[in-house]
Amino acid sequence: MKRHLLLLLSTIFALASISLIIIQISQTKKSVKISENLFNISVNNAIDEVFSQLDQMKVEDYVSQTERYRLQRYRRIDDLNEKMQDIIRQNSELFYDEQRVMFGISTQDSAFAQPGIHLSSVEENALTQYNTLLNARNRLIGTIRNTKSRGNNSIDIDNAIDASKLNFPLLDSLIREELIINGVDITPHIGVLLADADTLLYCSTSANPDDLLNTAYKYSFHPHGITPDESLFVVLSFPPTPMLLSSDTNLYTLISLFMILLISLLFIFSLRTIYSQRKLDEMKTDFINNMTHEIKTPIATISLACEMLEDESVTSDSATRLNFINIISDENRRMRILIETLLQSAKMSRKNFALNPKEIDLNSLVLASIQNFKLTLQNRHGTIETHLGDINGTLYADDLHISNMLHNLIDNAIKYSDREPHITITTRTEPGVAIFEITDNGIGIAKEDQKHIFEKFYRVSTGDVHNVKGFGIGLNYVSQVVALHKGKISLTSEPGQGSTFTISLPLE
C-alpha cells in the first residue's frame, strides 16, 4: 500500500474518531442535562407532596411535644370562649341590658347583676355558668406566657405558635420518604431556614450549614399555624456527584467509549501491521537485489578466472595459474559462506533448531577467521590488531556457528569502513564469561538505527555504495547465535567514529 494512501486512510479515520468522540460527549452532556432536570422535577414533586400532607394535618400533628400541650390549652380556651358566647347568645336580653347586668372594667372580669335588680333563677343560673367558665378560662390563660387577648374574648390558635416549635424530625422523615418515592436515591441534607434572620432553625446530622444557606433547592414553607410574617424555607443540599445519569446511560456511554477506543486500537494495529508488511516487503526486495549482486560478483570473478586459465599463455606460468586458482578458491569460499549464512539463519528460525556444542578455543577460531580476510585486507590496505587474552575456563559452543559469527563481524567491519580499515579484536575473561570485542574505524551507526540493527533484513541506509551491499541478515544471524549460546551482545557506536561490538559467552 502506498504511503499517501496510508496517510489518507489515517486522516479519514482520525477525523471519524474525533467526530464520534465529539458526538458521544455532546450526547452525554445532553443526557446529563436531562437527568439533572428530571432530578430537579423529582425533588420539587417530593417537596410539594410533603407540603400537601402537612396542609392536611392539624397543627398539633406537626409541632413539638411541648408545644402540643400548650396548644391543647389554647383549644380548651377556645372551647370555653365558645360556651361563654353561647350563654351570651341564649341570654342576649339579659347580658346586653346594662340596666340589669354589669361587667368589670376589662373584658376579663366577671358579670353580675346591678344593685337592687332582682333576677330570675334562670338568669342567675346563666350568670353563674358564665362566670364559672370565665374563671376557668382565665386560669388557663394565666398558665400560658405571651398570650394574646382580643376584644371578643377569644384566642386564635392559628397564630399561636412560631416556626421554632415545629416537629423537625417529622418534617425530615416526610421529605426523605417522598424523595425515595419520587426516585431520588441520593441522601440529602435537610434544613429549615428563617430567611429574615438568615439562620437555620433546623439542620440535619452531618450537614454543612454553609451548603444549606447557599443551596439552590429552597422552598417557601408556611403551613397553617405558623406566623405569616416569618419568611420560612425548607432547604436541601445533595452530596456532589460526578454525573447525574441513570445506570443504563452510564453503561451505554462507557460501552460506546470503549468501542471507540477498541476500534482505534485495532486501526492503529492494522496500520502498524500494514506498515511493517510494507517495510518487510521493501527489505525482502532489497535482500533479493543485494543477494543477486553478491552472488553475481563472485560468479563473474570465477568465470573470468576460468577464461584466463583456458589461455595457454597463462597456464604455462605456474605462478599466474596459481594466482587465478586462489582467486577462484576465495570467491568460492565467499559464496559458500553467504549461502551457509542464509541456510543457518533459516534453520535458526525453526523452534526445533539445536546446537552441537563442544569445547572450543575462541582465540584459535578468531585467528582462523582473520586468515580468511587476509587477501581482502591487502586489497583495501587494511590491518587487524589483535589482543587475545587467556580464556580462564571452558567454553562450550558450536564451532561452526561461532566461526560464522566471527566471519560476519569481521566482514562488516571491513565493508563498512569508508577508509583503510583498521580493526581491533580483543578477547578476555571476566567472571563467568568469555568476552569477544571487535572495534572498527568505519562509518558508525546512528542511534535510531542501533535499536533495529539486529532485526532480520534490516540494513542501515548508506545509499548505493557498492562496497556496503549485503543481505541484512548478518547481524541478525550473529544475535541469534549469541542468544542460542545464552550469551549477550551489545553495541557502542557513533556516526563517523566507528563501532564496537561486545559479545559475552558463558564459561563452565
Could you read off the pLDDT of 42-91 as tens digits, one per residue?
999 999 998 888 777 766 566 666 666 666 677 777 788 888 888 888 88
Q: Pairing relation of β-strands 383-388 and 422-430?
A: parallel
Pick from 64-78, 83-97, 297-311, 381-395 the range whose average pLDDT is largest.
381-395
Sequence spans of domains, the chain: 3-53+162-237, 64-157, 312-506
- In whole angstroms, give the CA distance from residue 420 to residue 217: 88
Amino acid letter, 69? Y
Grid coordinates representing 180 are 425515595
Q: What is the mean pLDDT of residues 167-175?
A: 85
The predicted structure's pLDDT at residue 231: 79
Closest CA to 213 of 199, 231, 228: 199
Amino acid letter, 250? N
The three-state DSSP-derived secondary structure of 258-327 is: HHHHHHHHHHHHHHHHHHHHHHHHHHHHHHHHHHHHHHHHHHHHHHHHHHHHHCHHHHCCHHHHHHHHHH
The answer to whether residue 360 scores a pLDDT higher than 70 is: yes
Residue 103 bridge partners (DSSP): 111
Buried b (16+ CB within 10 A) or exposed e, 387-425: eeeebeeebebbbebbbbbbbbbbbbbbbbbeeebbbbb
The predicted structure's pLDDT at residue 230: 64
- In whole angstroms, give the CA distance from residue 179 to residue 176: 5
- In whole angstroms, give the CA distance from residue 127 to residue 101: 9
Query: What is the edge-to-edge ordering of all strands in the sheet holding 433-439?
Result: 383-388, 422-430, 433-439, 499-506, 488-493
- In whole angstroms, give the CA distance from residue 446 to residue 429: 29
Q: Which of 134-143, 183-192, 378-387, 486-495 has the lowest mean pLDDT?
A: 134-143
- Averaged pLDDT of the chain: 79
The predicted structure's pLDDT at residue 235: 92
Q: What is the mean pLDDT of residues 291-300?
A: 76
- In whole angstroms, give the CA distance from residue 505 to residue 489: 9
Contact 101, 112 (CB under 8 A): yes
Contacts of 13 (CB under 8 A, 6+ apart): 264, 267
Measured in residues, the chain has a length of: 508
Outline where DSSP puts E strands in 368-412.
Answer: 383-388, 395-397
**pTM exceeds 0.85:** no
Buried b (16+ CB within 10 A) or exposed e, 131-160: bebbeebeebbeeeeeeeeeeebbbebeeb
Query: How many Å is the maximal CA-CA distance in the chain?
Result: 187
Query: Which of the pair, 426 or 375, is modelled with greater confidence?
Result: 426
CATH class label, 3-53+162-237: alpha beta
The answer to whether residue 424 scores a pLDDT higher than 90 is: yes
- In whole angstroms, give the CA distance from residue 98 to residue 111: 11
Task: Quickly tell me which residue has 398570650 as its cell.
Answer: 147
Contacts of 469 (CB under 8 A, 6+ apart): 290, 293, 294
- In whole angstroms, give the CA distance from residue 370 to residue 377: 10
CB < 8 Å & 24+ apart, contacts of 371-378: 372/333, 372/407, 373/410, 373/411, 373/414, 375/326, 375/330, 376/414, 377/414, 377/421
Closest CA to 232 of 178, 165, 170: 165
Helix (H, G, I), strand (E, B) or coil at 108: coil
Q: Which one-letter DSSP state was computed for residue 341? A: H
Fold of the domain built from segment(s) 312-506: Heat Shock Protein 90 (3.30.565)
Contact 42, 217 (CB under 8 A): no
- In whole angstroms, give the CA distance from residue 156 to residue 147: 10
